Amino acid sequence: MSALHKLRARIPAGLRGLRPAATRRLTRAHTLAPEKQAALYVHWPFCEKRCSYCNFNKYIPRNVDELRMRDCLIQETKTLIQLSQVQRITSVFFGGGTPSMASPLTIDNILDTISQCAHLAEGTEITLEANPTSAEASRLAEFQRAGVNRLSIGIQSLNDADLKLLGRNHTAADALRTLEEAKRLFPGHTSVDLIFGLPGQTVTSWVQSLQRLLSMCDDHVSLYQLTLERGTSLFKQVYQGYLPMPDGDVVAEMYECAQHILQDTGFRQYEVSNFARNGALSAHNLSYWQGNQYIGIGPGAHGRFVLSGDGKRHREARIQTLEPDIWMKEVLAFGHGTRKRTALSELDRLEEVLVLGLRMDVGISHQHWLQIAPTFSLWKVFGESDEVKELQEQGLLLLDDRGLRCSRKGLAVLDTLLLTLLSQLEQAWAEKEETSSGT
């Protein structure tokens, strides 16, 4: 397994009446040390059905004991905020699974708990992932009253044949109805997901689908290349020869066309897969890419934060127990369902900053890098490398007074660049350690 794949395996998911979000204890944002604030992710693991391409941690239950699930999410939220001792939650993201299947009451209760445990500043971004079939107009309005102020809609395609192939249980018409209602309720704060590189898809059909979406979408678009995951039905169909996949050059052309079309429509590509206009960047996802702390709540959720009160000041990577029933038993017994804790070394953190930070158009600033390794600058690591200089000469990478970042052309081949950059980082780190030990 390559260093990049190893790193990716370590990285990164009694009911009562609703009250208006304004009754929560909101405060104005104020400056805090990085370890005193964190984003918070809540994982709702249940779906109505499993899509043909998806290998996420999700379950298709006959019945969901929502009251028990909600109580456990609330308890784990209390416990992990207390363990981290963060004072401010910078964003909240309800992901899944299909969190729009949860009751708006559950979302309301969790947000109440967060605001009781830490400062939830006025205007904090609170995102809910929504599936068009579980997000009818009246339900979206209830989520808004519960405190959600941003919606991420899994449209995936506007072609009914593609949706059927992907195992989605909505039609293009369903998706567009949901999108229109979301734009009415969350103007400027509605994101849509779209997948490209589908079996049988051509550049022409992809461009037509994207242009149709852009004629009616809001200010944020996420584009994802289809990845065939082992264990999924789509993987099986493709590898048994039943479905033809477009070749790599065609998929690369799809991505390049999308970059140009979105730019011409006023969107900024601020991350490999994410485009925004009118300043509608996702604050929550920026927390991940900038290497900030985040707390993961729910079955299979991941987190990165400094554990306070144990006499140590290192950041931990935490993974919660995958299976919902086992996770709930652990939460009821111990207050949380953390299955795995890994202390992150300085090198671990630099590797994560490199892999995640270069996904952004602004890349990694010198100041950010030096916050982790004050005596190990970007110039020292990459400035004299012949391989890195070659990437710069090819117009793929920039290292200057602003920091390290990819060109637009470089973003399209980021995985290839990272193989070189991670190898150079590891080599420079080994030389630093040898010098420090005097050998």
Residue 170 confidence (pLDDT): 87
**Taking 70 as the threshold, does the pLDDT of residue 82 lie above it?**
yes
What was the pLDDT predicted at 242?
87
Q: How far apart are CA 229 and CA 8, in angstroms?
A: 15
Beta bridge partners of 221: 192, 275
In this prediction, residue 214 has a pLDDT band, given cuts at 50, 70 and 90, of very high
Closest listed residue to residue 90, CA positions, set 146, 147, 162, 41: 41
Alpha helices in 228-323, H assignment, sequence order: 233-239, 248-264, 283-289
C-beta of residue 112 within 8 angstroms of C-beta of residue 73: no
Output the CA–CA distances (angstroms, integers) from residue 439 to 345, 376, 398, in the order listed: 21, 19, 33
Least confident of 19-23, 106-110, 152-156, 177-181: 19-23
pLDDT higher than 50, residue 372:
yes
Q: Residue 240 has what pLDDT?
A: 82
Q: Is the pLDDT of residue 216 over 80?
A: yes
- pLDDT per position as a tens digit, 323-363: 999 999 999 999 999 999 999 999 999 999 999 999 999 99
In the chain, the percentage of residues whose pLDDT exceeds 90 is 73
- Smallest CA-to-CA distance from 26 within 139, 97, 114 is with 114
* Strand bridging mode 403-406 / 364-365: antiparallel
Does residue 24 surpass a pLDDT of 60? no
pTM passes above 0.85: yes
Mean pLDDT of 302-329: 88
pLDDT grade for 78, boundaries at 50, 70 and 90: very high
Q: Which of 27, 49, 141, 45 is nearest to 94 (CA)?
A: 45
- Is the pLDDT at 2 greater than 80? The verdict is no
Question: Which class for 288: exposed (0-12), middle (13-18), buried (19 or more C-beta within 10 A)?
Answer: buried
Q: What is the pLDDT of residues 271-285, one digit of tens each?
A: 999 999 999 999 999
pLDDT tens-digit map of 122-160: 899 999 999 887 667 778 999 999 999 999 999 999 999
Compute the CA torsion angle 403, 409, 413, 418 (nearest 10 deg): -10
What confidence tier does 10 reach under pLDDT thresholds 50, 70, 90? Answer: low
Residue 313 CA to residue 420 CA, distance in Å, equals 31
Who contacts 256 (Cβ-Cβ below 8 Å, separation ≥6)?
A: 412
For the chain, the 3-state helix, strand and coil shares in percent, each to the nearest 5, are: 45, 20, 35
- What is the structure's pLDDT at 296? 98
- CA–CA separation, 373 vs 353, rounded Å? 11
- Amino acid 239: pLDDT: 83
Q: What is the pLDDT of residue 8?
A: 52
Q: Are 336 and 79 in contact (CB under 8 A)?
A: yes
- Measured CA angle at 347 (ends 344, 348), to 5 deg: 40
Question: Which domains does the chain show, CATH number per domain?
Answer: 34-288 (3.20.20.70), 347-437 (1.10.10)
